[in-house]
Amino acid sequence: MQDRFHTPLTADNAAVLLVDHQIGLFTGVRDIGVDELKHNVTGLAKAALRLNLPTVVTTTAADGMWGPLIPELQAVLPRELKVIDRSSVNAWHDDRVRAAIEATGRSKLIIAGLSLEVCAAFPAISATASGYDSYVAVDACGTFSETKRTTGLLRLQQAGVIVSDYASLAVEVLADNAHPDAAGVYGDLAMPFATLVGQLAAAYRG
């Protein structure tokens, strides 16, 4: 019998939770370049939507201290997707967020948040305690110091949350490079190394 560490993510069992990728919070990010973080979270969102993964997006105090979603992320989300603005520190403690996740019917939850050690880690740990298999896309998260990053990763691992990167999680869901959406997914992810390899291959063929 497979355990949760060995059961792969699929388009049928996974959902995505994006927590607090807001303008105000981005100003404090110090563990990853802001442009890289924008690239990664928007790539994850685009690939997830292309793969038909239910996606829940939330903010905290969007009309106040943290501001709205970064425009790069807002631009790739469907117009009909309602961003849930909440007051609770842990997104899992908001009944609307939890209900939206439960309504997906999925057992695996890919999470990214800003900050890593709070906005991603708290709901990931809570979801794990509630029986979900939680995955955190670390490079689609950011935080305010290396200490916070290190302690956040340690706490996630201590709680049994699976840590990975945004592209690997999406490619695991894709599963097959013969999939009709494979080229689109790789385009959404826009991985610099893969882009370079593609350019070199095209040059070689030419």
**pLDDT tens across 39-81, in order?**
999 999 999 999 999 999 999 999 998 999 999 999 999 999 9
Q: How far apart are CA 133 and CA 110, in angstroms?
A: 9
CA 39 vs CA 98, 104, 110, 121, 147: distances in Å: 27, 26, 17, 21, 23
Q: How far apart are CA 46 and CA 184, in angstroms?
A: 9
Q: Which residue in the list 16, 41, 112, 119 is annotated as catalytic?
A: 119
- Quick one: CA torsion of 77, 85, 10, 182, rounded to 10 degrees? 20
Residue 5 placed within a domain: no
Note down the domain range covering 60: 14-205
| pLDDT of 65 | 87
Residue 119 annotated as catalytic: yes
Q: Alpha helices of 4-161 — where are they, by DSSP H?
A: 23-26, 34-50, 71-76, 95-104, 121-129, 146-158
**pLDDT (tens digit per residue) in 161-206:** 999 999 999 999 999 999 999 999 999 998 765 554 444 445 555 5
Residue 6 placed within a domain: no
Question: Residue 93: pLDDT above 60?
Answer: yes
Q: Write down the mean pLDDT value for the chain.
A: 93
Q: Which of 110, 116, 105 is nearest to 134 (CA)?
A: 110
| Count of domains forming the chain | 1
User: Which one is predicted more confidently, 201 or 30?
Assistant: 30
Contact by Cβ (8 Å): 84, 97 = yes
- Indicate which CATH number applies to the domain containing 190: 3.40.50.850
200 Cβ neighbours under 8 A, 6+ residues apart: none
Residue 112 placed within a domain: yes
Residue 1 placed within a domain: no
| pLDDT of 27 | 96
> What value does the mean pLDDT take over residues 106-127?
98
